[in-house]
Structure 1
Amino acid sequence: MTETKLDVREIPPAKRHPKIHEAFDDLESGDTLVIVNDHEPKPLFYEMQAEVPAFDAENYATERRGPTEYVAKFPKKE
């Protein structure tokens, strides 16, 4: 089980979700995608929960590390 980190703060907002979905799809079962974002990614959480069967929503976690830094873990089901 590995973690892949993706800092999306420099990616234009319209391109963030497609980039995140692509990175998540590339994960192996049991791996986690760690997103660094400038806001809490609740809309992305709900999108993943509704549209991505491999997303392990029960083990999703987020942490605010500063005014413009949120770190969220999106695990892929085993």
Structure 2
Amino acid sequence: MTTPDRIIDVRTEIPRVRHELIFTSFDKLPVDAAFVLVNDHDPKPLYYQLAAENPGEFTWKYLEEGPEVWRVRIGRVATS
């Protein structure tokens, strides 16, 4: 049985806390697990930061693309 993805809704968090919460959640994420990020804007800059700091270690799939809510499934994958 598959465990549902954890939902991390940062819309009510103050901006300076959002990235810390997201990166802490990613750091604790086991390989082959994922969480769904819910945000009030396109988190594309976060994608670039994850890519720079964790190249090849994550997946990124938009589930909803605005205009008011963005949902992105972020997963951790094994590195070779």
User: Is the TM-score greater than 0.5?
Assistant: yes
- What is the TM-score normalised by the length of structure 1? 0.83
Which residue of the other structure, out of 36, 40, 46, is the alignment partner of 2:38?
A: 36
Partner SS, residue 21 of structure 2: helix
The alignment of Structure 1 onto Structure 2 pairs a total of residues equal to: 75
What is the correspondence of 1:19-58 to structure 2 with a 5 Å cutoff? 19-53=21-55, 55-56=57-58
Contact 1:55 1:74 in 2 (8 A): no
Identical aligned residues as a percent: 36
**Bigger fraction of residues in helix:** 1
Structure 1 segments unaligned to the other structure (5+ residues): none
Equivalent-residue separation in structure 2 for 1:55 and 1:69 (angstroms): 25
Distance 1:54 1:30, change over 3 A: farther
Partner SS, residue 71 of structure 2: strand
Contact 1:34 1:74 in 2 (8 A): yes
Partner SS, residue 60 of structure 1: strand
Deviates more, 1:1-10 or 1:25-34: 1-10
> Which structure 1 residue ranges, 4+ long, deviate > 3 Å from structure 2?
none
Matched residue, 2:60: 60
- Given residue 6 of structure 2, which amino acid in structure 1 is its aligned partner? T
